Amino acid sequence: MRWVTYIWGSIRDTWQYRHEPEKLRTLADAYWRILLFIAVLVLAGLIFYAGLKFYSVFAGEEENPLLSGGGGIFLNPADLQMTMEGFDHRRAAYESFKRNPPKIADPSK
């Protein structure tokens, strides 16, 4: 238990004389190591969580929306045809606009 009192005394001594350059360097080093440790923990946690989510897709879970057959959306052929015609109309309008650009006067003249 002597090492606990030694560490605590060292921490207390470093904090009391934090305005000294040697102690400030020690505090900065400890701060940097703590931030680095936290960043590594967060990164490891994110990788673990992403791995769990990635492998849950292949596990065959019933509540998985990717494997549930479309998520309950039913396609109506008439609506799909109207959407495709709308895309064709927009493509034709774009090509027409590209061939015949509007004549706009230059405002700087």
Give SS3 for 70: coil
Percent with pLDDT over 90 in the chain: 34
Q: Is residue 10 part of a domain?
A: yes
* Element holding 64 (H helix, E strand): none
Residues 97, 94: Cα–Cα separation, whole Å: 5
Q: Is residue 66 part of a domain?
A: yes
Provide the residue range defining the domain that includes 17.
Answer: 2-99
Structural domains counted in the chain: 1
pLDDT digits (tens, 9 = 90+) for 4-53: 676 677 777 777 877 777 778 888 888 899 999 999 999 999 999 999 98
Q: Is residue 106 part of a domain?
A: no
Give SS3 for 68: coil
Q: Are 40 and 34 in contact (CB under 8 A)?
A: no
Q: Is residue 109 part of a domain?
A: no
pLDDT digits (tens, 9 = 90+) for 44-97: 999 999 999 888 877 765 555 555 555 556 778 898 999 999 999 999 999 999
